[in-house]
């Protein structure tokens, strides 16, 4: 049994921040929470503000290679996608694993204890399967384990380039031919991680563009039977809505609803361009709405109706998506800040709500049940933020400090399932992650 003594800890929206909190851990679970408490002999002392582990619910890990590389011209989301595809084309299991490992290490130093990897880079060049058709998926899992994170591998069905258009170019690496082919492969993947407590295999539908309507239910049914997470990109760009309406006469939301995609295990990612009926349906289904604000800034997606979705019944979660930024504090803050920019009102979201979105809501959406914050029975994830940095000094040390003042650079300690992954702001097992990342990005970009 480990005991952690926290100078301050955020115990959830009801209890807020308390001073002097002793957290006892048995196995990978929190066994006791006492406050006020003095540090006991042998306790691991965490100076600062301790919060639960962040769940990064939407990751395309290989996009990290594009940070700082796609900002030199003007253009659209679709022009950016061409640059992203050029990277996707060059990755092999080894370079993908190295890139993923260093990127997950960056996430760990930012307080992420579980990642949802929206994984569609399945096959080799020209779409030829590797000897193990899940070799790329295994590389993602191995990378997460090396970086000390839990992973939900959201294995993504991707079958078409658009409505009625077959995959082309690099997209052939994404496709399993049809949804039945996807099921066959994912069954093998699931079997490989049966019983693992640090890996969940979930399902994903890339988008209504990428999976024909008639095959949506095959993926949704697979997820339903297993009660596994099901993630989908939804209405990130106006063009997706227009194409879907033209092809099917329905919005992406309505099309997904009609084919059984939307339910309480479903996460809809972005959910930016929605009408009132879409919002009502998503709320009625009780979906998770996964916003990725720093990516939605970077890709010029716009600002989604976060409050309206939650008022309707959806549950907010967060992700760093393209990894233009990996900073869950900034991600929380950005939900509220971007809402202010378009509503011209302050305080749509309160700090406690955003903390809940980034931690327990997110962990639940990834299928890591029982991880509901710093409470008895919760998973033993602890993230410690400095309250004495240039950024956080004088800001009160409560949830507002975590959401509205701190950045990832303020995170000193990260414990995942009772293992110390980050100490003194350094990743313990991958101290050279940044150098490794630099090297692998160099290789990938040179290999044109």
Question: By C-beta, is 33 or 437 nearer to a copy of itself?
Answer: 437
> How would you list the strands of the sheet with 112-119, edge to edge?
54-59, 112-119, 150-157, 199-205, 230-234, 266-270, 288-291, 315-318
CB 200 within 8 A of CB 265: no
Question: By C-beta, is 16 or 263 nearer to a copy of itself?
Answer: 16
Shortest separation between residue 291's beta carbon and a copy of itself, angstroms: 13
CB 34 within 8 A of CB 21: yes
Sites for a copy of itself among residues 348-367 (CB under 8 A): 348, 350-351
Options 347, 424, 446, 448; binder of a copy of itself; rule CB under 8 A: 347
Catalytic: 259?
no
Mark residues 400-429: x for contact with a copy of itself by CB under 8 A, - for none. xx-xxx-xxx--------------------
Catalytic: 270?
yes
Contacts with 37 (C-beta within 8 Å, 6 or more apart), sequence order: 5, 20, 21, 22
Q: Which of 237, 319, 313 is nearest to 279 (CA)?
A: 313
Q: For residue 336, how far is the Cα from the chain centroid?
A: 18
Options 169, 238, 276, 431; binder of a copy of itself; rule CB under 8 A: 238
Other CB atoms closer than 10 Å to residue 93's CB: what's the count? 18
Mark residues 426-445: x for contact with a copy of itself by CB under 8 A, - for none. -------xxx-xx-xxx---
* 3-class secondary structure, 201: strand
Catalytic residue among 231, 265, 270, 323: 270
Reported in sequence order, the residue ranges of 82-220 that DSSP labels E, i.e. its strands, are: 112-119, 150-157, 160-162, 165-166, 199-205
DSSP code at position 322: T
Shortest separation between residue 312's beta carbon and a copy of itself, angstroms: 19
Shortest separation between residue 132's beta carbon and a copy of itself, angstroms: 28
Options 28, 155, 338, 353; binder of a copy of itself; rule CB under 8 A: 338
Other CB atoms closer than 10 Å to residue 445's CB: what's the count? 14
CA angle 135, 270, 438 (to 5 degrees): 50
| Binding status of residue 303 toward a copy of itself by CB under 8 A | yes
The two beta strands, 150-157 and 112-119, are parallel
Instruction: Find the Cα–Cα–Cα–Cα dihedral 175, 179, 185, 188, rounded to 10°.
Output: 160
Shortest separation between residue 55's beta carbon and a copy of itself, angstroms: 19
Mark residues 63-82: x for contact with a copy of itself by CB under 8 A, - for none. -xx-xxx-xxxxxxx-xx--
Shortest separation between residue 224's beta carbon and a copy of itself, angstroms: 35
Contacts with 176 (C-beta within 8 Å, 6 or more apart), sequence order: 122, 157, 159, 182, 184, 185
Sites for a copy of itself among residues 309-328 (CB under 8 A): 324, 326
Question: By C-beta, is 192 or 409 nearer to a copy of itself?
Answer: 409
| Binding status of residue 385 toward a copy of itself by CB under 8 A | no
User: Can you tell me the distance from the alpha carbon of 52 to that of 71, in angstroms, rounded to the nearest whole number?
Assistant: 34
Shortest separation between residue 286's beta carbon and a copy of itself, angstroms: 25
User: Can you tell me the distance from the alpha carbon of 173 to that of 162, in angstroms, rounded to the nearest whole number?
Assistant: 16
| Binding status of residue 369 toward a copy of itself by CB under 8 A | no
Catalytic residue among 278, 301, 321, 417: 321
Residues that bind a copy of itself (CB under 8 A): 64-65, 67-69, 71-77, 79-80, 102, 105-106, 109-110, 238, 296-303, 324, 326, 336-338, 340-348, 350-351, 388-396, 398, 400-401, 403-405, 407-409, 433-435, 437-438, 440-442
Active site residues: 270, 321
């Amino acid at each position: 049994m480990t005991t952690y003594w926290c100078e301050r800890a955020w115990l959830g929206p009801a209890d807020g921040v308390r001073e002097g909190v002793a957290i006892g851990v048995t196995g990978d679970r929190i066994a006791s929470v006492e406050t006020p408490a003095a540090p006991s002999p042998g306790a691991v002392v965490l100076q600062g503000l301790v919060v639960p582990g962040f769940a990064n619910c939407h990751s395309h890990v290989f996009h990290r290679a594009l940070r700082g590389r796609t900002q030199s011209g003007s253009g659209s989301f679709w022009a950016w996608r061409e640059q992203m595809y050029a990277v996707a084309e060059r990755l092999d299991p080894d370079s993908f694993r190295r890139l993923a490992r260093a990127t997950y290490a960056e996430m760990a130093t930012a307080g992420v204890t579980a990642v949802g990897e929206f994984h569609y880079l399945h096959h080799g060049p020209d779409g030829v399967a590797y000897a193990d058709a899940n070799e790329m998926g295994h590389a993602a899992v191995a990378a997460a384990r090396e970086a000390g994170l839990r992973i939900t591998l959201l294995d993504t069905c991707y079958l078409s380039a658009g409505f009625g258009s077959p995959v082309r170019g690099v997209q052939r690496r994404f496709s399993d031919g049809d949804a039945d082919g996807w099921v066959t492969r994912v069954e093998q993947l699931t079997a490989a991680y049966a019983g693992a407590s640090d890996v969940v295999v979930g399902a994903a539908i890339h988008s209504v563009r990428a999976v024909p309507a008639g095959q949506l239910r095959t993926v949704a049914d697979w997820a339903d039977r297993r009660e596994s997470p099901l993630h989908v990109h939804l209405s990130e760009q106006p063009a997706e809505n227009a194409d879907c309406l033209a092809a099917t006469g329905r919005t992406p939301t309505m099309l997904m609803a009609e084919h059984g995609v939307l339910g309480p295990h479903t996460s809809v990612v972005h959910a930016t361009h929605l009408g009132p009926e879409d919002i009502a349906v998503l709320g009625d289904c009780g979906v998770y709405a996964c916003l990725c604000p720093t990516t939605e800034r970077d890709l010029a997606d716009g600002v989604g109706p976060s409050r309206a979705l939650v008022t309707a019944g959806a549950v907010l979660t967060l992700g760093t998506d393209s990894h233009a930024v990996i900073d869950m504090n900034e991600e929380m803050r950005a939900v509220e800040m971007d809402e202010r920019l378009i509503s011209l009102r302050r305080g749509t979201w309160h700090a406690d709500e955003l903390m809940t979105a980034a931690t327990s809501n997110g962990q639940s959406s990834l299928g890591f049940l029982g991880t509901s914050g710093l409470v008895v029975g919760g998973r033993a994830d602890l993230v410690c933020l400095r309250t004495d940095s240039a950024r956080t000094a004088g800001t009160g040390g409560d949830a507002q400090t975590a959401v509205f003042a701190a950045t990832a650079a303020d995170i000193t300690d990260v414990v995942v399932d009772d293992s110390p992954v980050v100490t003194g702001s350094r990743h313990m097992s991958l101290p050279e992650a940044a150098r490794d990342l630099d090297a692998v990005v160099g290789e990938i970009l040179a290999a044109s």
